[in-house]
């Protein structure tokens, strides 16, 4: 097992090699998504919309859930590459699948510590028990 000091020394060795070889670490630059200027108003509007629909269709609060869909790309091009000093543009070779993706649906999984399932929980909750309340290999298989 490597110690922190060994890992730091390896990083220093890599940086020294890069400098001696006239290579440079290049980071991909991209501006992230910005929050809308009227974020508070938009959140309030959304909350009012949900409450209106709840009343309109007579949903119970326990019947309203949250789900998150996340795109996962087949070819996730890294943000870092090694290139010679002075190069203005870096070409990155890919499998040409960087725009192809699938949707991963994230759900809420409740992990309770212990062996006995707590009483009076809604049946819709996806739950598992773990002696320490952790997600581990066993939890990923169930």
| Distances 134 to 38, 115, 128, 140 between C-alpha atoms, Å | 39, 12, 10, 11
pTM for the complete prediction? 0.35
CA geometry: angle 78, 12, 76, nearest 5 deg: 5
Stated as kind and residue range, the H or E segment containing 105 is: strand 101-106
Name the DSSP class of 118. Answer: P
Give me the pLDDT at residue 108, please.
67
Domain ranges for the chain, please list them.
5-30+37-130
| Distances 140 to 99, 110, 128 between C-alpha atoms, Å | 28, 13, 11
Residue 76 near residue 100 (C-beta atoms within 8 A): no
Give me the pLDDT at residue 48, please.
92
Task: HSE, CB side, 13 Å, CA atoms: give it for residue 8.
Answer: 3
What is the full per-residue pLDDT of the chain (142 aa) written as tens digits? 556 777 777 778 888 888 888 877 777 666 566 787 888 899 899 889 988 988 898 877 767 766 677 777 777 777 777 778 887 777 777 777 777 777 776 666 777 777 887 777 777 777 777 787 776 766 666 5
Give me the pLDDT at residue 66, please.
67
Radius of gyration of the chain (CA): 24
- Per the document, the length of the chain is 142
């Amino acid at each position: 097992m490597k110690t922190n000091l060994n890992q730091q020394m390896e990083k220093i060795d890599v940086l020294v090699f890069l400098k001696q070889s006239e290579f440079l670490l290049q980071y991909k630059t991209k501006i992230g998504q910005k929050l809308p200027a009227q974020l508070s108003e938009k959140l309030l509007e959304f909350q009012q919309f949900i409450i209106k629909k709840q009343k309109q269709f007579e949903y119970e609060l326990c019947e309203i859930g949250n789900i998150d869909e996340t795109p996962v790309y087949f070819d996730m091009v890294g943000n870092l590459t090694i290139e010679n000093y002075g190069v203005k543009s870096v070409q990155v070779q890919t499998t040409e699948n960087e725009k192809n993706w699938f949707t991963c649906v994230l759900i809420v999984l409740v992990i309770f510590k212990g062996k006995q399932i707590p009483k009076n929980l809604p049946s819709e909750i996806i739950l598992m028990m773990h002696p320490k309340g952790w997600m581990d290999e066993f939890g990923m298989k169930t």
